[in-house]
Amino acid sequence: MKKRILASLLSSVLAVGLLTACSGESEDSGKTAQDGSGSAVQKEEEELTKVTLNEVAHSIFYAPMYVAIEEGYFEEEGIELDLVCGFGADKTMTAVISGEADIGFMGSEASIYTYNEGATDYVVNFAQLTQRAGNFLVAREKMDDFSWEDLKGHLVLGGRKGGMPEMVFEYILKENGIDPEEDLEINQSIDFGSTAAAFSEGQGDFTVEFEPGATTLESEGKGYVVASLGEDSGYVPYTAFSAKRSYIDENPDIIQGFTNALQKGMDYVQAHSPEEIASVIEPQFPETDLETITTIVTRYYDQDTWKSNLIFEESSFDLLQDILESAGELEKRAPYDDLVTTKFAAIAAQ
């Protein structure tokens, strides 16, 4: 495969689940937190360390992170979180590499691409948030007994070639003995975020949608979710937190505190219902009503989207590279030991 320039390779790869513009900054740095005894502890602004986090998109798919923000877990760890939206993995990766952001939140395949391009101070993944793909297959009619064979001979509105959503979709097709080029037609020309509108206007027999597109089509009676790509693709490390190797080496306490806060968010999600989770993260999505947020959280909750911990396992990293290879997007496999560290997540999990 030909050598790719970082910007073109990463562009739109992981602009997944984009719902609204990022909120800019997290909750007030002076937000009241709770100490171990349950008494209120007011964190003074000067005690907090500002950390800039650039997220690839702002999505309910990432609910545990927003729980950590809304519940004040970052402040408890001495961090004032400045949340910035990159609107694409290329922009998020650029912000991290340039030092504009301390930590990036994006697909871990981005770290593989930059590593293979010869970056010396490459980006290392230290915490994995999602373990499932976040998109769904939507049909025009209800199909209670859907199988992937049903796509043969049909037109599907897919994702950009080389993008993670499209690669996962094609990986599933191949795993089910379906040739993506011969057995069906995949329209990859529609911009991300516009496929649901195109489908509602009559284009395609099926469409691959992130939320809230899938739920919106169902609520309008214009489509029906018939399959979860997250369930059928396996435990894919779809999104992870990463930072430059030098930043991690120089700021281990910050990385540990950041990871601890995330783990508290993961613990909350594991211990609470979708309704409770939706209620907590509602302020992060002011343009979406609580009922819709709850529906989307429930869908992700039911498919086991979020792990109980943040440990990025080697088997998941291998599966990710299998998917990239299957799509013809990986020039050479990258070493897990270079691109992943689990020590911070392991401590947080304790």
Please tell me the chain's helix, strand, coil percentages from 3-state DSSP, rounded to the nearest 5: 45, 15, 40
pLDDT at 40: 37
218: CB partners within 8 A, 6+ apart: 138, 224, 225
pLDDT at 46: 57
CB count, 10 Å around CB of 155? Answer: 15
135: CB partners within 8 A, 6+ apart: 16, 159, 165, 168, 169, 208, 209, 210, 214, 229, 230
Structure tokens at 239: 């999104």
- The answer to whether the CB of 111 falls within 8 A of the CB of 339 is yes
- 143, burial (CB in 10 Å: exposed 0-12, middle 13-18, buried 19+): middle
Query: How wide is the angle at C-alpha 324 spanned by C-alphas 319 and 328, nearest 5°?
Result: 145
Structure tokens at 88: 């694409």
| Cis before 212? omega within 30 | yes
- 1, burial (CB in 10 Å: exposed 0-12, middle 13-18, buried 19+): exposed
Strand duo 79-85 + 206-209: pairing: unpaired
H/E element holding 144?
Answer: none
Closest CA to 260 of 78, 106, 102: 78
Closest CA to 240 of 106, 338, 346, 124: 106
DSSP state for residue 306 in the 8-state scheme: B
Structure tokens at 171: 């990986």
The pTM (predicted TM-score) of the whole model is 0.81
287: CB partners within 8 A, 6+ apart: 19, 20
Q: Tell me the pLDDT of the chain (350 aa) as tens digits.
A: 433 434 343 333 333 344 444 544 444 433 434 444 333 344 444 589 999 999 988 889 999 999 999 999 999 999 999 999 988 788 899 999 999 999 999 988 889 999 999 989 999 999 999 999 999 999 999 999 999 999 999 999 998 777 778 888 999 999 999 999 999 999 998 877 789 999 999 999 999 998 888 998 999 999 999 999 999 988 888 899 999 999 999 999 999 999 999 999 999 999 999 999 999 999 999 989 999 999 999 999 999 999 899 999 999 999 899 989 988 889 899 999 999 999 999 999 99
Query: Which residue has 């562009």 as its token pair?
Result: 11
Structure tokens at 312: 């990025």
Please tell me the distance from the alpha carbon of residue 89 to that of residue 271, in angstroms, as a whole number: 31
Please tell me the distance from the alpha carbon of residue 213 to that of residue 57, in angstroms, as a whole number: 15
